[in-house]
Amino acid sequence: MPEGDTVLQTATRLHAALAGQVLTRSDLRVPRFATADLTGRTVLDVTARGKHLLTRIEGGLTLHSHLRMDGAWRVFSPDERWRGGPGHQIRAILGNTEHTAVGYRLPVLELLRTDQEDRAVGHLGPDLLGPDWDPGLALDRLLAAPDRPLGEALLDQRNLAGIGNVYKCELCFLARVTPWLPVGALPDGVLPRLVALAERLLHANRDRPTRTTTITSELRTPTNRGLARSPARDTGHPRPRPPHRVQERLFVYGRARRPCLRCGTPIRLADQDDRPTYWCPGCQSGPTP
């Protein structure tokens, strides 16, 4: 599932292509809204809220979409061949004289009144990449269920919006605890620093090309002290050396059975709440499956 920074990149592309332009083509290919016609209306803005996309349209309407695992929005010029999947996977088309936005495999697509957007996103916690970001509120929500495993709590968008499975695994590695450790069992002071680091990492990655999330190279600043220290067996390097291969932009995610970049122990893989979860048994303490 796309992380909050990837969804924000999608919103930025859609906003650049559609905002301020009158729709000359509108096709919503879901039964409930198949007869809706948005042509002649101006797109006002496209914004991300956590992992949700809100396309606001003249007349007090909002097109709400969510990518979940396989969804995607693609933007094409008038003479460009559409790429993104077969035609039967297209769920939405929004076009103007300069661009056409095509939504593929969108599991959530609904047309709302703009003043009723809270029906779709009102349950979300503070957005790590949004103007409403409130680390204190995020901490309060995480600590409200101290017995809950940290990995599950980080993924719960009601606590803080924008963290996906990649960041979940990487943040638990940086906290030196397994994703199954209860939130309330974290050492004093770790959770506030972890929340602050989550916000900084999403901001650092929001302008990177899609699917090139980098965690390791973001650890070369003193703000991570106490979360990203190397174990005592390391020989004088307070942080891991920068990776040289694409797959080493991440410490643990997608690296099952490969050696940990910090201690050399093979990375483990198991499911947590039906999601593939990676951790290093040498660097991370706490319960495991």
- Catalytic residue IDs: 2-3, 51, 275
DSSP 173: H
CA torsion angle for 143, 146, 151, 154 (degrees, to 10)?
A: -20
Return the residue matching tokens 């174990």.
Answer: 231
DSSP 22: B
Please count the other Cβ atoms lying within 10 Å of the Cβ belonging to residue 69: 8
Cα–Cα distance, 157 to 88 (Å, whole number): 31
Contact of 252 with 262, CB cutoff 8 Å: no
Sequential DSSP letters for 86-152: -GGGEEEEEE-SS-EEEEES-SEEEEEEGGGTHHHHTT---BTTSTT--HHHHHHHHHTSTTSBHHH
